Amino acid sequence: MQNRLRAAVLAVLGLMPIAAQGQAPGSGPSIKLIVPYAAGGLPDTVARIVGRRLQERLGQTVVIENRGGANGGIGMAALVGAPADGHTFVVSDGSMLSTNPLLYARLPYDPKDIAPVAFLAQAPLFLAVHPKLPVSMLREFVDYVKARPGQINYGSSGVGSIHHISMEGVKVSLNLAMTHIPFKGTGESVPALLGGHVEALFSAYPSLSGAAGTNKITLIATNGAARSPLASNVPAIAEIVPGFDFATIVGIYARTGVPSAIVQKIAAEANEIVKEPEVIKQLAAVGIEAKGGGPAEFDRALKGEAERAGKVIKAAGIKAE
């Protein structure tokens, strides 16, 4: 029975093993991985690393398609509009099902039409401060800000971004008063920190590590649940705020209606891929931690993120622009 089910799934997907059919990569129906953002970001990087190995394992073409716009909404709408045949998926961060429904009254897609497939990776953000602040540790930063309510500016990648929510989470948890300066992405916010136009911000490790290595900024904390292997000397905010966790999660989504057997097949392949030492190494080189997990694990991570973010969004009164 299991062998017949497996054969049926592979036949539907066009994923029969190369040895069994003598197929060369790309000879079967292609799989499309939509990334609902521009090329070069976190989800795009994960999609390309995992997609390359998925193509090799399945023996057929895997196409990465960037469909940016509407805070990921354009790409998700494209997924919902595709046939539920298991040939189209999305690789994106958790905001599609966690924070976007909390921030936007209207979305280009209905979250009920999206199903989690596989938990691929996570990327913690690091809290960095400008050297003009006489602090080198998280507790010193907290004390410094508390002594100067409203005088310290912090930057973010935009209103409602995980960078923004992370800092508001710190403010709410530790009763801090800081002024938010939103920018259009890290391409603007990180230079603003380096130039001293803002005193602090959260950003991904690759965008900060070079400046940290030359003492142009100081890394004082990470927003993950525990210290990151990327910089194990930097404490997690969770060490002083139990349960604090806003590391960006990335996974694969399908539209609802895709047969469960197909979802499980893709989840199983993806889970094996992110356990491969070379893939772990490739992800770590760009500041990403491999995770692994199927639909249930990814769904649990999304719901946890939505719960934590929801409390901060409500307490801080964050409204999407």
CATH code (residue 109): 3.40.190.150
228, 245, 262 — which closes off a domain?
A: 245
Which tokens is 119 given? Answer: 């938990």
Q: Are the CB atoms for 320 and 159 separated by under 8 Å?
A: yes
pLDDT band at 28 (very low <50, low <70, confident <90, very high): low
Q: Are the CB atoms for 66 and 39 separated by under 8 Å?
A: yes
Residue 319 lies in a domain: no
Pairing of strands 114-123, 248-255: antiparallel
Instruction: Please name the residue that has the structure tokens 């004390």.
Output: 143
193 vs 17: which has the higher pLDDT: 193
Taking only the tens place, the pLDDT of each residue in 140-190 is 999 999 999 999 999 999 999 999 999 999 999 999 999 999 998 888 999
230, 245, 260 — which closes off a domain?
A: 245
Does 119 lie in the same domain as 78?
yes
**pLDDT of 241 strictly over 60:** yes
105-140 exposure pattern, b = at least 16 Cβ within 10 A, e = fewer: eebbbeeeebbbbbbbbbbbbbbbbbeebebeebee
Which tokens is 204 given? Answer: 């991904």
Residue 320 lies in a domain: no
Output DSSP code: residue 72. G
> How far does CA 13 lie from the centroid of its chain?
27
d(CA 264, CA 253): 12
Query: How many CB atoms are located within 10 Å of the residue 201 CB?
Result: 30
Taking only the tens place, the pLDDT of each residue in 244-266 is 999 999 999 999 999 999 999 99
Q: What angle do CA 169, 194, 198 make, to 5 degrees?
A: 45
Phi, psi at residue 157, to the nearest 5°? -85, 5
pLDDT on residue 15: 40
Structural domain of 232:
125-245
Does 200 lie in the same domain as 220?
yes
Q: Count how many domains the chain has.
A: 2
Mean pLDDT for the stretch of residues 96-101 = 94
pLDDT band at 6 (very low <50, low <70, confident <90, very high): very low
40 vs 66: which has the higher pLDDT: 66
Q: Are the CB atoms for 224 and 248 separated by under 8 Å?
A: no
245, 267, 284 — which closes off a domain?
A: 245
Does 94 lie in the same domain as 229?
no
Contacts of 19 (CB under 8 A, 6+ apart): none
| pTM to 2 decimal places | 0.85
Pairing of strands 248-255, 88-93: antiparallel
Residue 204 lies in a domain: yes
Taking only the tens place, the pLDDT of each residue in 197-226 is 999 999 999 899 999 999 999 999 999 999
